[in-house]
Amino acid sequence: MSAIPRTKLAVANPLTRPLIIAVAGNPNAGKTSLFNALTGMRQKVANYPGVTVERKVGLWTLAPELPPAQLIDLPGLYSLEATSLDEQIARDALLGRAREMPTPDAVIVVVDATNLVRNLYLASQLIETKQPVVIALTMFDIAERQKLSIDVAKLGAALGVPVVPVVAKQQRGTTRLAEAVLAVIAEAESRPDRRSERVREDTTTCAQSLINRYHWIEKVVAGSLNRPHEQAKASPTERIDRVLTHKFFGPAVLLLVMLLIFQAIFSWASLPMYIIERIFNVLSETVRLNLPPGVLADLLAGGVIPGVGGVLVFLPQIFLLFLFISMLEDSGYMARAVFLTDRVMRSLGLQGRALMPLLSSFACAVPGIMATRTIEDPKDRLTTILIAPFMSCSARLPVYTLMIATFFSEQKVLGQISLGVVILLSLYLLGITAAVVVAWILKHTILKASPSPFVMELPPYRLPSFTNVGHAILMRCGLFVKRAGTVILAISILLWALAAFPRSPNGQSTASATQNAQNNDEAAAQIRNSYAGRAGRMLEPLIAPLGFDWKIGIGLISSFAARETIISTLSIVYGVGADPSGRSTTLNDALRNARRPDGSPAWTPLVGISLMVFFVLACQCMSTLAVVRRETNSWRWPLFLVSYMLVLAYVGSMVTYQGGRLLGFS
Q: What are the residues binding another protein (CB under 8 A)?
A: 78-79, 81, 83, 114-115, 117-118, 121, 205, 207, 210-211, 214-215, 237-238, 241, 245-248, 250-251, 335, 338-340, 342-344, 450-459
> 586-615 b/e with 16+ CB inside 10 Å = b?
ebbebbeebeeeeeeebbbbbbbbbbbbbb
Amino acid type, 240: I
Q: Which is nearer to another protein, 248 or 600 (CB)?
A: 248
Beta bridge partners of 23: 73, 108
Q: Which is nearer to another protein, 344 or 421 (CB)?
A: 344
548 Rama class: left (phi>0) / alpha (psi -120 to 50) / beta = beta
Beta bridge partners of 108: 23, 134
DSSP letter string over 356-404? HHHHHTTT-HHHHHHGGGG--SHHHHHHHHHHGGGS--TTTHHHHHHHH
Instruction: Return the DSSP state at 599.
Output: S
Least distance from another protein to the Cβ atom of residue 496, Å: 50
**SS3 at position 119:** helix
Least distance from another protein to the Cβ atom of residue 458, Å: 4
Q: Which is nearer to another protein, 44 or 343 (CB)?
A: 343
Q: How far apart are the first and last CA of the chain?
A: 62
Least distance from another protein to the Cβ atom of residue 255, Å: 12
Quote the CA–CA distance of 35 and 108 in Å, as a whole number.
Answer: 10
Least distance from another protein to the Cβ atom of residue 523, Å: 57
Least distance from another protein to the Cβ atom of residue 253, Å: 12
Q: Which is nearer to another protein, 8 or 239 (CB)?
A: 239
Quote the CA–CA distance of 385 and 380 in Å, as a whole number.
Answer: 9
Q: Which is nearer to another protein, 39 or 119 (CB)?
A: 119
Phi first, then psi, for residue 415 (nearest 5°) are 85, -70
Least distance from another protein to the Cβ atom of residue 324, Å: 21
Quote the CA–CA distance of 412 and 293 in Å, as a whole number.
Answer: 49
Q: Which is nearer to another protein, 353 or 528 (CB)?
A: 353
Least distance from another protein to the Cβ atom of residue 329, Å: 15
Give how far Cα 390 sits from Cα of 194, 210, 362, Å: 56, 45, 9
Pair type for strands 417-418 and 225-226 = unpaired
Least distance from another protein to the Cβ atom of residue 377, Å: 12
Q: Which is nearer to another protein, 84 or 418 (CB)?
A: 84
Least distance from another protein to the Cβ atom of residue 488, Å: 38
Least distance from another protein to the Cβ atom of residue 325, Å: 19
Q: Which is nearer to another protein, 408 or 461 (CB)?
A: 461
Instruction: For helices 485-500 and 305-312, give the axis angle rounded to 10 degrees.
Output: 140
Q: Measuring CA to CA, which residue among 227, 207, 203 is closest to residue 123? A: 203
Least distance from another protein to the Cβ atom of residue 340, Å: 6
Q: Which is nearer to another protein, 78 or 400 (CB)?
A: 78
Pair type for strands 412-413 and 43-47 = unpaired
Q: Which is nearer to another protein, 228 or 541 (CB)?
A: 228
Q: Which is nearer to another protein, 458 or 481 (CB)?
A: 458
Quote the CA–CA distance of 33 and 35 in Å, as a whole number.
Answer: 5
Give how far Cα 601 sits from Cα of 527, 587, 606, Å: 22, 15, 11
